[in-house]
Amino acid sequence: MRRAYQEQGDGEALQAARELLEAQQNISGEERERLLGYLEGGGRVILVEPQPLLTKASKMPGLDGQKMSKSYNNTIALRDPPAQVEEMIKRMPTDPQRVRRNDPGDPEKCPVWQFHQVYSDQETQAWVRQGCQTAGIGCLDCKGPVVEAVLQELKPMQERARQFEQQPDLVRRIIQEGSERARQVASETMQEVRQAMSLNFT
């Protein structure tokens, strides 16, 4: 009923929910007020409904144009050596209609274009589109900016990974401290949940 009211503006659902609460004899006035506030959106939501957090590319394309997944064997791992990453990108399939260097292509049919949409600025994308459609650039030329962008993105992550590899005690301490903070936050949240649900038994 709350969702119908808050998401679809269904006033009848709100009225029905109010009547349902009024009919309950086993809840206190304070609990009734709290639930009415929750229904109307005036109360504090303790357990917030998770929402998706998406970048401009909701899924990362794989080396073959499908979703990047280990099961598809089309991934670039975060710790792959730069030479291996470069070789994998250079071997990516391209527009199947572009058989020869002087054949014009269609970026929309090329898996490499999906990487440009994630990594390249508008100027580079315009250069790729123009060069591909007129056969002004070859497929390896097209892949060059992608190689550079992917390697540039991976470099700081790989440097940090190497630092942590050399300090296993630090990694264990970070995990331990993070787990303790998570337990504390979870404990505080559950205390609020129990209070809101009148489950604080003594």
DSSP output for 92-106: ----TT--STTS---
Q: What is the pTM of this model?
A: 0.67
Q: Identify the domain containing residue 161 by its residue range.
A: 70-166
Residues 157 and 103 in one domain: yes
Q: Is 65 within the bounds of a domain? A: no
Low-confidence ranges of the chain (pLDDT < 70): 41-46, 48, 57-58, 200-202
CA–CA distance, 197 with 30 (Å, rounded to integer): 11
Q: Is 158 within the bounds of a domain? A: yes
Q: Is 200 within the bounds of a domain? A: no
Residues 96 and 156 in one domain: yes
Residues 117 and 80 in one domain: yes
Residues 33 and 80 in one domain: no
CA–CA distance, 63 with 91 (Å, rounded to integer): 9
Q: Is 26 within the bounds of a domain? A: yes
Give me the pLDDT at residue 44, please: 56
Looking at this protein, which amino acid is placed at residue 81?
P
Contact 90, 140 (CB under 8 A): yes
DSSP 17-65: HHHHHHT-SSS-HHHHHHHHHHHHT-SPPSSPPP-----SSSS-B-TTS
Contact 116, 65 (CB under 8 A): no
Looking at residue 130, which CATH number applies to its domain? Answer: 1.10.240.10
Q: Other C-beta atoms within 10 Å of 63: how many?
A: 19
Give me the pLDDT at residue 180, please: 97
Residues 78 and 112 in one domain: yes
Residues 94 and 27 in one domain: no
